[in-house]
Structure 1
Amino acid sequence: MHIDILTLFPEMFHGVFNSSILKKAEENNAVQYNPINFRDYTDNKHQKVDDYPYGGGAGMVLAPQPLFDAVDHLKEQRKNTAPRVILMCPQGEPYTQEKAEELSEEDHLIFICGHYEGYDERIRTHLVTDEISIGDYVLTGGELGAMVVIDSVVRLLPGVLGNNESAIKDSFSTGLLEHPHYTRPREFRGLSVPDVVLSGNHQKIEEWRQKESLKRTYERRPDLLEKMELTDEQKRWLQVWKNEK
């Protein structure tokens, strides 16, 4: 996968891309990152990339010319791919694990990170393929949001995680929150590990994990269950917990 990031602050990405899983992914040739200062594409003699909004109002608006020219250039460099052009924006669709899995199938992603009041609407309507929001709040710019999306996508690429099942069983990948985990010691400050995970009976362990995953979702994110088709057994478990309440 090739990832271009159009930003006014490419240095923000250097520490993130040179650490942990994201660094290993690039070293293993699973991904290539390319942070670009889109100010380099402006035709304004003062290197401006923004202007006052028509009709007045607070703040500055990113002009279309630098971003259109930058995306055109990136597409020209990689003619054999049709990139997803992603605008990081509070007005975008809420980001989900399902979206991360969808994007992980692509060969080329281009992220646009704004840093002003907003974007010229022509950028939204004629340049981007996706608008993404990582939450119902406003950040100073799109850079942090892009980092979140890139991290969640890259870890899904084949061979990036040491164990490919890790991503498959993550929270939200199954539609549910992940089950509890335990490690040594068996007893810690009077707190014990559940007997079932020490039983060696893999069938019982898997049943326990599925049940705990469902219970945790019911307790913490019941909204997720509204989107799922539950089995009869899962419905019985839910009814038991509801009766206990």
Structure 2
Amino acid sequence: MRIDVLTLFPRMFEGPLRESILGKAIEKELLAVYVHNFRDFSDNKHQQVDDYPYGGGAGMLLKAQPIHASLEAIRESSPATSKRVVLLDPAGKKFDQSLAEEFSEEEHLIFICGHYEGYDERIRSFVTDEVSLGDYVLTGGELGAMVMIDATVRLLPEVLGNDESAKTDSHSTGLLEHPQYTRPAEYLGMEVPEVLRNGNHKLIAEWQLKESLRRTYLRRPEMLEQLELTDEMEKMLQEISQEEARAVDKEKL
């Protein structure tokens, strides 16, 4: 995969792109990332990339010309025919695991990191996607782009040590991930559930599914509304509801 990032602050990407999973993916040539300062593409002798909005208003807007020129330069340098151009914008579609999976299928991604008060509206005609991390506003799109890149790249083949790891992550299955444990079997009086130590893979799989359902039921119940539940899962949810109700009653005593 090739990823290009348009930003006014290229140095913000130096640490995240050198460390951990992203750094290893680049070392193994599974990923190529190019970070561009779109100020370098301004046609203004002072490299100005922003200006006051027509009609008045607070702050400055990013101009269309530097962004367009940057995109044209990237298109000329890359042989990839399919390019997904992502505009980081608070008004965009909310980023989630499903979109990360969609991005991971692309050959070439381009992220445009905004700054100042917003964009010249004509910039939107250059992009394929407008995406937001959530219902809040950051000072720029750089942090959002880093999050999206990380969530996307870890889904690429061979990036993680075990390709099965991403398939069982929270949100990948439609459920939150079940609790997990490692050695020792007992610590500060807290024990690893017996079912995980008995070696019965069928019972372990049933326990993991039920605990994924329990965690989702307690923490993100709205996710269950989007899930097509099997008869087994319906039965487990009924048991969970009863068990949690008994636990609440017990606490009241």
Q: What is the TM-score of this pair, normalised by structure 1?
A: 0.98
Counterpart-to-counterpart distance in 1, 2:46 and 2:121? 23
Counterpart-to-counterpart distance in 1, 2:18 and 2:182? 29
3-state SS of the aligned residue for 2:23? helix
Counterpart-to-counterpart distance in 2, 1:201 and 1:235? 23
CA RMSD of aligned residues (A): 0.9
Counterpart-to-counterpart distance in 2, 1:243 and 1:178? 21
Q: Which amino acid aligns with 1:70?
A: S
**Paired residue for 2:223?**
224
Identity %: 61
How many residues align structurally?
Answer: 244
Q: Residue 122 of structure 1: CA displacement?
A: 1.0
Counterpart-to-counterpart distance in 1, 2:239 and 2:205? 20
Kindly indicate whether residue 72 of structure 2 is the aligned counterpart of residue 90 of structure 1: no
Q: Is the 2:80–2:108 contact (alpha carbons within 8 Å) kept by the matching residues of 1?
A: no
- List per-residue Cα deviations over 1:92-122 (Å, max 9, x = no partner): 1111101001100111110000111001111
**Paired residue for 1:106?**
106
**Paired residue for 2:41?**
41
List structure 1 segments (4+ residues) > 3 angstroms apart after TM superposition.
none
Q: Is the 2:80–2:107 contact (alpha carbons within 8 Å) kept by the matching residues of 1?
A: no
**Paired residue for 2:196?**
197
**Paired residue for 1:55?**
55
Counterpart-to-counterpart distance in 2, 1:31 and 1:208? 37
Counterpart-to-counterpart distance in 2, 1:169 and 1:117? 39
Counterpart-to-counterpart distance in 2, 1:229 and 1:69? 46
Counterpart-to-counterpart distance in 2, 1:82 and 1:73? 15
**Paired residue for 1:234?**
233
1:177-196 → structure 2 map (5 Å cutoff): 177-196=176-195
Counterpart-to-counterpart distance in 2, 1:159 and 1:80? 21
**Paired residue for 2:248?**
none
Counterpart-to-counterpart distance in 2, 1:116 and 1:127? 19
Q: Is the 2:88–2:113 contact (alpha carbons within 8 Å) kept by the matching residues of 1?
A: yes
3-state SS of the aligned residue for 2:165? helix
1:1-245 → structure 2 map (5 Å cutoff): 1-124=1-124, 126-244=125-243, 245=245
Counterpart-to-counterpart distance in 2, 1:172 and 1:82? 27
3-state SS of the aligned residue for 1:93? strand
Unaligned stretches of 5+ residues in structure 1: none
3-state SS of the aligned residue for 1:226? helix
Counterpart-to-counterpart distance in 1, 2:26 and 2:221? 37
- List per-residue Cα deviations over 1:183-225 (Å, max 9, x = no partner): 0111101110000000101111111101100110010001111
3-state SS of the aligned residue for 2:226? coil
Counterpart-to-counterpart distance in 1, 2:156 and 2:240? 37
Q: Residue 82 of structure 1: CA displacement?
A: 1.8
3-state SS of the aligned residue for 1:165? coil
Q: Which amino acid aligns with 1:10?
A: P
Residues 183, 80 of structure 1: CA spacing in aligned structure 2 closer, same or farther, 3 A cutoff? closer
Counterpart-to-counterpart distance in 2, 1:130 and 1:110? 10
Q: What is the TM-score of this pair, normalised by structure 2?
A: 0.95
- List per-residue Cα deviations over 1:10-55 (Å, max 9, x = no partner): 0000000000000000011110111110000000111110000111
**Paired residue for 2:250?**
none
Q: Residue 242 of structure 1: CA displacement?
A: 2.8
- List per-residue Cα deviations over 1:51-85 (Å, max 9, x = no partner): 00111010100000000111011011114322100
